[in-house]
Amino acid sequence: MRLALPAPIQRLWAVSFIRFLFVGGLNTLFGYSVFALFILLGLHYALAALIGTILGILFNFKTTGTIVFKSDDNRLIVRFFGVYGFMYMVNVGVLKLFRELGVHVLITAAVATLPMAMISFLLMRRFVFRESEGALNSDIRQAVEEMKGILEGLFAGPTENMGVQFFRYAVVGAVAFVVDFGLLYALTHYGGLYYLTSTTLAFLVGLGINYTFSILWVFSRRAISSRLVEFGIFALVGILGLGLNDLCMWFLTSVAGLYYLYSKLVTTAVVFVWNFIARKVSLFR
């Protein structure tokens, strides 16, 4: 079965501001990875930050130019550095201002991320990778319309698109995980139960939530007409998943020595993939 992205997502990628936001995340990951690498190699944090910043800017220039603005003109790097430096000073100024007002820098940075990204995009488009007047407004309108289409496709109505089903199953899985994880902690930490016992009880509650939302929202076509047989197979897949869940929990916690909550995070990812594939193949289309 081929995993196909919804058509609105493909069209949304054509909007330059959306690509800019994606590239921003990619550049952040690259810069952090370079910094972490040099720290692990034993460099002083100041030198590691300097090298990471320089390489990050160069990487940022190429990704922003080629992916966002479809430009490979390396002569624009001077202007790019100018805008980059200006945005750095603005960012530092905003952080300093709100810090003096008593707002924590992490909160300021989180709130200011999107506005700073928009300002940076406008400056890049105006002074570095110049484009025709009016194109920005068109991009924004297109982005809003495509976002509406994406949200409707992802959340509203039945669907047979495997990509959308996987997304919805992930949302359902996240809800079930919150309940599962919360019960695991409450039963173990406050109830005093052995972690494998609380794991099993919490998992069963999550199974019920998963089944209900799977048939009502995730999958549009069902291979078995009998609800009783369907739930039996659904539960069987869940029981096998439960066995896999407990096995992974035991191995990671008792053998590998991980804290049981960390074990739960790893186990959840493994069981999630198993459950989706097994239920998609055996019960739903």
Note the pLDDT tens digit of each residue in 52-106: 778 888 888 888 888 888 888 888 888 888 888 888 888 788 888 888 888 777 7
Q: What angle do CA 235, 218, 185 make, to 5 degrees?
A: 60
Using CA atoms, how far apart are residues 77 and 232, in angstroms rounded to an integer?
62
Whole-angstrom CA distances from 18 to 136, 141, 200, 223 are 12, 12, 42, 38
Q: How confident is the model at residue 129 (pLDDT cuts 50, 70, 90)?
A: confident
**30-to-33, 35, 37, 219 alpha-carbon distances in Å:** 5, 9, 11, 37
Nearest to 174 by CA among 276, 249, 29: 276
Instruction: pLDDT band for 285, please (50, 70, 90 cuts).
Output: low
Amino acid at 119: I
Q: Strand, coil or helix: what is 73?
A: coil
Lowest average pLDDT, out of 103-112, 196-205, 213-222, goes to: 103-112
Please state the rounded mean pLDDT for residues 131-147. 60
Alpha helix (H) residue ranges in 186-225:
195-213
Q: Which residue would you say has higher pLDDT here, 151 or 140? A: 151
Q: In this structure, what token pair is assigned to residue 104?
A: 């924590």
168 in Cβ contact with 217 (< 8 Å): yes
Beta-strand ranges (E) seen in 39-160 are: none
Q: How many CB atoms lie within 10 A of CB 152?
A: 12
Could you tell me the pLDDT band of residue 5, with boundaries at 50, 70 and 90? low
Q: How far apart are CA 211 and CA 283, in angstroms?
A: 11
- Rounded-to-integer distance, Cα 13 and Cα 29, Å: 20
Give the integer Cα–Cα distance in Å for 141 and 96: 34
Q: What is the pTM of this model?
A: 0.51
Q: How confident is the model at residue 6 (pLDDT cuts 50, 70, 90)?
A: low
DSSP state of 215: I
Residue 30 pLDDT: 84
* DSSP code for 74: G
Here the tokens at position 146 are 């495509």
Region 37-51 average pLDDT: 79
| Residue 25 scores a pLDDT above 70 | yes
Q: What is the mean pLDDT of residues 166-190?
A: 87
pLDDT the model gives residue 1: 46
pLDDT at residue 140 in the model: 60
Are the C-beta atoms of residues 165 and 275 closer than 8 Å to each other? no
Average pLDDT value over all residues in the chain: 80
The mean pLDDT value for 159-185 works out to 85
Q: Distance between CA atoms of 124 and 210, rounded to whole angstroms?
A: 45
